[in-house]
Amino acid sequence: MEIQYASYNGAVNSDRTSNEYIKFNSCGWGLYPKNFSMKRPNGRLDYMIAYISNGKVNFNDNILSSGDMYICRPGQSQNLLSLEENYLHYWIHFTGTAADRLFKESNYTVIKSTLGDRFEKFCKETVRTHSIPKISHYDSMITEGKLLTLITSIAKEMDASDNTKDNRIERIIKYICDNPSVSLTNQQYADMANMSKYYFIRKFVTIVGTSPQKYRQNILLEKAMLLLENTTLRINEIAYSLGFDDSLYFSRLFKKQYGVSPSKYRK
C-alpha cells in the first residue's frame, strides 16, 4: 500500500470547515491492495471528491471502476472496500461557501468524468508544492484558485449529466404509478432514490414538470375519473379505494382539478 498526500499547513487532521469562499483541506492518492477497507460512519466535516484511476471498489454499496468520480457531502458516511489489487484513487477534501453553492444540494453522486487527467494533475502538483517546508501565502492562493476552477468544472459536468434521464427518478415515477394509493412523504421518496430531499424534489420537478405529491395526486384523480365513468361505486367508496380518508377532501380536489364535482362529472 502506498499513500501520498498534502494538507493545509501540513496539518495532521485537515478535517475542518470555513466561512471563506473556498479552502483547500487536503488531497492525495493511494495505491491499495485487494480487500483494503476504510470506514467513516459519520463522514467528515468537509466535502470530498475522489477519482478512480485504476481498479474496482465497493463504495457505499455501489460498484465503481476506472473513470468514475464520486462526491460526498459533509456528514455523509463513507464505506470503502477495494475489489482488485493495485486499486488507485485520487482525492481532494475542501470546504467553503463556494463548495456549498456547488455541491450542497447533491447527495452522494457518481459520474463518468472527462476530468480525470486534470484531477490527477492537481493532486500531484499540490502534493509537490505543499511538500516545501514553508509554503507561501501566494502558493496557497494559487492552489485554491486551481481548486475552484477544477471543482466548478466538475459541478458543471454533473449538471450536464443531471439534465439527462435519471434512472433514480424513473424508478420513483414507476413506483408512484404502480402504487398511487400509498401515501409517502417527499423524504421517503428521496430515501428510496438515495438523494437528499431538496435535490430529489428539484430533479423530479425538472424531469416530470411537477412535484412528486402533485404527480401522485394527478394519477389518483385520473383513476377517480375512470371509476366515475365505468363503475357504479359511490363517491365515498371511490375516495376510500384510492386512499383518501376524507371523501369531502377528495371532492374538493376533484373539483379544483376538473372544474366540476365528482357527482356532476358522473352525470
Report the pLDDT averaged over residues 97-112.
79
**Tell me: the pLDDT tens digits for 25-42?**
999 999 999 999 999 999
Report the pLDDT averaged over residues 236-248.
90
The predicted model scores a pTM of 0.63
Model confidence at 105: pLDDT above 70:
no
Which amino acid, residue 89?
H
Locate 72 and state its grid cell. Answer: 460526498
Model confidence at 133: pLDDT above 80:
no
**Rounded Cα gap, residues 81 and 116, in angstroms:** 21
Least Cα distance to 92 among 67, 124, 55 occurs for 124
Least Cα distance to 43 among 105, 108, 104, 100 occurs for 108
**Rounded Cα gap, residues 168 and 67, in angstroms:** 21
Give first-to-last CA distance, the chain, whole Å: 77
Model confidence at 151: pLDDT above 60:
yes
Locate 118 and state its grid cell. Answer: 486534470
Q: Count the Cβ atoms, other than its own, within 10 Å of residue 204.
A: 27
Question: What dihedral angle (degrees, nearest 10) is formed by the CA atoms of 16, 19, 24, 25?
Answer: 0
Angle of helix 212-230 relative to helix 186-193, nearest 10 degrees, comes to 110
**Rounded Cα gap, residues 39 and 59, in angstroms:** 10
Question: What dihedral angle (degrees, nearest 10) is formed by the CA atoms of 210, 212, 216, 217?
Answer: -60
**Tell me: the pLDDT tens digits for 54-101?**
999 999 888 899 999 999 999 988 999 999 999 999 999 999 999 998
Count of residues in the chain: 267
H or E segment and range at residue 59 = strand 56-59
Distance of CA 212 to the CA centre of its chain: 17
Could you write out the DSSP letters of every residue in 101-161?
Answer: HHHTT--SEEEE-S-HHHHHHHHHHHHHHHTSSS--HHHHHHHHHHHHHHHHHHHHHHHHH
- pLDDT value for 195: 78
Least Cα distance to 189 among 207, 181, 201 occurs for 201
- pLDDT value for 200: 85
Mean pLDDT of the chain: 88
Model confidence at 248: pLDDT above 60:
yes
Q: Are 45 and 74 in contact (CB under 8 A)?
A: yes
Q: Out of 11-25, 133-147, 179-193, 230-244, which region has the weakest mean confidence (pLDDT)?
A: 133-147
